[in-house]
Amino acid sequence: MFRIDATTVGVSDTRLMAEIVAARPVLSTERSVYKPAAGADIPHDSATRTIRALGQDVTAGIRTPPPPARGLSGSWPYAPTSYLRRWLFGADPLPVALLAKRGITRSDTLSRLVDRAVTVWPGTGAEGGSTALAGLIRGAADPLDRKQAVAMYRRASATLCDGVAALAGNALWLMRATGERPADLTAALWETLRLLPPAWMLYRNSGDAYAGLHPEIRREDNVALLPLLMHRHPDYWSDPLDFRPERWTGVADPEKAPGFMPFGFDGARCWAKHLVVPLAERLLTVALDHGLTVRGPQQDAPVPLRSLLSVRFEASVGA
């Protein structure tokens, strides 16, 4: 436990993390994808429908031929993000497909314009989109439900594609040091999740629930839970800074490993965790089968401390 600033403490101890998580349920405003939309909380049944729809879309996408691999050339993780959006959601009709366009999502003005267009998109009686997520918009029962379905389409598609692109890119960078393709890509991805977990920090707002759990946590302190530090602690891992995929060989359930929480905690786990690793493995397979080469810094690469830990590099696909 350590102090980050006057009103924030950081925690990387497994026991204390568990106590903090158990102290109270996660607030809706502390969530990412399922935070309030259109001025109202996302109902549980709506969140469940979104998860199921996204699962259907990812399962269908994994089974279909990917777009031309040349789309993976360029700056990572941006190139694979656009590639995944095209692969999974590119068949949706306008204006819905624009919700998943990276150029649109980067502009608040364009995002608002597209959102308005989608809210008046033909309803249930018209021909709708090809994805299950688009079907939730088309089948919305009332204006609020429709606005929230639009927000969920944008958030779910962006969060999934951004997260998978970051994970695959991080794995490519770490695998680069070995000079050969791993025999077990799944193990390589679990080891990547250890060193660069997507849920590298979980933020909890201050309150009475955490006072008393540790003598240095005050009622007014916000709490940052840091799996990133726990995943690199020698109390839990031998050679913690080394990339060693063989750690996971024969491990039936990696998430039960001590000191390992790649997708968050009970009550606040990544809603798409069961989709991320299979989709990232499929993306890596496409990249490696087409001779993708990582270019850029040989030893060090920038990893900005943003919502996702993403190594930045250039890559090109072979002929």
How confident is residue 91, by pLDDT bands cut at 50, 70 and 90?
Answer: confident
Query: 91 or 66, which is more confident?
Result: 66
User: What DSSP string describes 70-99?
Assistant: GGG-EEETHHHHHHHHHHHHTTSPTTGGGG
Gap between the Cα atoms of 58 and 60, Å rounded: 5
* Mean pLDDT (the chain, rounded): 88
Give the tens place of pLDDT for each residue, 54-77: 999 999 998 899 999 999 999 999
Structure-token pair, residue 19 = 């106590």
- Give residue 319's pLDDT: 59
What was the pLDDT predicted at 266? 64
pLDDT tens string 236-285? 999 999 999 999 988 999 988 989 999 877 666 676 788 999 999 999 99
pLDDT score recorded for residue 126: 47
Strand-pairing partners, residue 167, are: none
What per-residue confidence (pLDDT) applies to 105?
74
Confidence band of 29 (pLDDT split at 50, 70, 90):
confident
CB atoms under 10 Å from CB of 113, counted, come to 14
Q: At 99, is the pLDDT very low, low, confident or very high (cuts 50, 70, 90)?
A: confident
pLDDT tens-digit map of 130-183? 799 999 998 888 889 988 999 999 999 999 999 999 999 999 999 988 778 888
pLDDT of residue 206: 94
Please write the tens of the pLDDT for every residue from 104-139. Answer: 777 788 888 888 888 877 654 445 447 999 999 988
**pLDDT attached to residue 254:** 92
Residue 14 has pLDDT above 60, yes or no: yes
pLDDT at 125: 45
